């Protein structure tokens, strides 16, 4: 069986800030996120036993030179009921939902043709699962399934005939879909993606590829103690266009008919000029 993704269209975008200036900006954003986290932690009641999370960059702005971005998720987990034992942390980043189609190819008369397909409804266009150690060592499979920890346990609703359902992790269409998304760099799982700065202070680096779709990305941080969920915190960040590209996109949505007319006239003008330049007498 061979899988091939069908319906999602990605927009190519180009290079993040490089060099000393870009590094300085990233360091400033990271420091600001950590400072915000510490201020929020100080505001917690002493006995709250909560979880505080901060993202280094609440907005990722896409320009014509964007090729990707690195975000840092910081967190502090307060001790609960005097329990200072070790903790496990999982950070799950989900992009906006989109529709995808995975195809099965079969050999017919010596040719490979699409013979069957499965559509995934509102599947995350980006999915990263970062953890402090392998997730199967943190909790039971049932807990991981309920909490959607790990790629195999994230719910990916498929349309099967007239019904909509999730299927077992070994389903061939689901397996092919995960493999294709991972090959494109938009799905990944890193069992060493969360590091500890102190026993209860952690960080995770999230790489946003240049092909990342626009929209809001949710960040779910979950802390495990002794195989059970001890705390959960949700936050988010946005990936948006900026500059000339954003103005064009807004114009096309606000005045669709006028945008279409301008594009058509521009095409005619280019064709006319090309004919004048390259025609032969």
Q: What is the pLDDT of residues 221-266, one digit of tens each?
A: 999 988 899 999 999 999 887 766 666 766 676 777 887 888 888 8
Q: pLDDT grade, residue 168 (50/70/90)? A: confident
Which pLDDT value is given to residue 138? Answer: 93
Residue 8 lies in a domain: no
Do residues 131 and 262 both lie within one domain?
no
Do residues 112 and 197 both lie within one domain?
yes
Do residues 57 and 97 both lie within one domain?
yes
- Rounded average pLDDT over 67-92: 85
If you write DSSP's letter for every residue of the chain in order, what string do you get? ----B-S-----------HHHHHHHHHHHHHHHHHHHHHHHHTS-TT---EEEEES-SEEEE-TT--EEEEEEEEEE--BTTB----EEEEEEE--EEEEEEEEEEEETTEEEEEEEEEEEEEESSEEEEESS-GGGTS-HHHHHHHT-SGGGS---EEETTEEE---TT-HHHHHHHHHHHHTTSEEEETT-EEEEETTEEEEEEEEETTPPSEEEEEEEEEEETTEEEEEEEEEEEEEE-THHHHHHHHHHHSHHHHHHHHHHHHHHHHHHHHHHH---
Percent of the chain with pLDDT over 90: 33
Do residues 178 and 271 both lie within one domain?
no
Do residues 188 and 230 both lie within one domain?
yes
Residue 93 lies in a domain: yes
Do residues 82 and 184 both lie within one domain?
yes
Compute the CA torsion angle 182, 184, 188, 193 (nearest 10 deg).
Answer: 140
Residue 2 lies in a domain: no
Percent of the chain with pLDDT over 70: 76
Do residues 130 and 255 both lie within one domain?
no
Are 237 and 70 spatial neighbours (Cβ–Cβ below 8 Å)? no
Do residues 264 and 205 both lie within one domain?
no
Residue 54 lies in a domain: yes
Do residues 169 and 72 both lie within one domain?
yes
Residue 29 lies in a domain: yes
Count of domains in the chain?
A: 2
- Rounded average pLDDT over 86-104: 90
pLDDT higher than threshold 50 for residue 7:
no
Do residues 65 and 201 both lie within one domain?
yes
Do residues 215 and 276 both lie within one domain?
no
C-alpha to C-alpha distance for 202 and 132, rounded to whole angstroms: 9
pTM of the model: 0.69
Residue 109 lies in a domain: yes
111 or 207, higher pLDDT: 207
Query: What's the domain range around 280?
Result: 243-281
* Residue 7, burial from CB neighbour count under 10 angstroms (0-12, 13-18, 19+): exposed
Residue 5 lies in a domain: no
Q: What is the pLDDT of residues 20-65, one digit of tens each?
A: 544 444 555 555 555 555 554 444 443 345 899 999 888 888 777 7
Which pLDDT value is given to residue 250? Answer: 64
Do residues 207 and 250 both lie within one domain?
no
Residue 175 lies in a domain: yes
Which pLDDT value is given to residue 222? Answer: 95
């Amino acid at each position: 069986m061979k899988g091939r993704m069908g319906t999602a269209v990605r927009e190519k975008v180009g290079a993040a800030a490089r060099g000393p200036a870009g590094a300085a900006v990233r360091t400033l954003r990271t420091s600001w996120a950590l400072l915000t986290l510490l201020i929020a932690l100080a505001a917690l009641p002493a006995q709250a036993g909560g979880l505080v999370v901060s993202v280094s960059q609440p907005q990722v702005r896409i320009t014509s030179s964007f090729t990707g971005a690195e975000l840092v998720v910081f967190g502090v987990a307060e001790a609960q009921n005097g329990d200072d034992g070790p903790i496990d942390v999982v950070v799950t980043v989900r992009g906006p939902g989109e529709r995808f189609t995975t195809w099965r190819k079969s050999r017919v008369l010596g040719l490979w043709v699409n013979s069957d397909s499965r559509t995934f409804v509102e599947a995350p266009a980006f999915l990263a699962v970062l953890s402090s150690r392998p997730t199967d060592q943190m909790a039971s499979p049932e807990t991981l399934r309920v909490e959607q920890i790990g790629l195999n346990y994230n719910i990916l609703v498929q349309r099967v005939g007239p019904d909509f359902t999730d299927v077992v992790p070994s389903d061939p269409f689901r397996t092919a879909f995960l493999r294709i998304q991972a090959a494109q760099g938009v799905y990944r799982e890193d069992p060493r993606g969360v590091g500890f700065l102190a026993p209860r202070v952690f960080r995770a680096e999230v790489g946003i590829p240049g092909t990342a779709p626009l929209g809001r990305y949710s960040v779910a941080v979950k802390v495990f103690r002794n195989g059970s969920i001890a705390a959960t915190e949700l936050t988010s960040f946005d990936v948006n266009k900026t500059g000339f590209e954003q103005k064009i996109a807004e114009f096309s949505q606000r005045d669709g008919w006028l945008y279409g007319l301008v594009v058509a006239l521009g095409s005619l003008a280019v064709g006319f000029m090309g004919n004048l330049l390259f025609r032969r007498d």
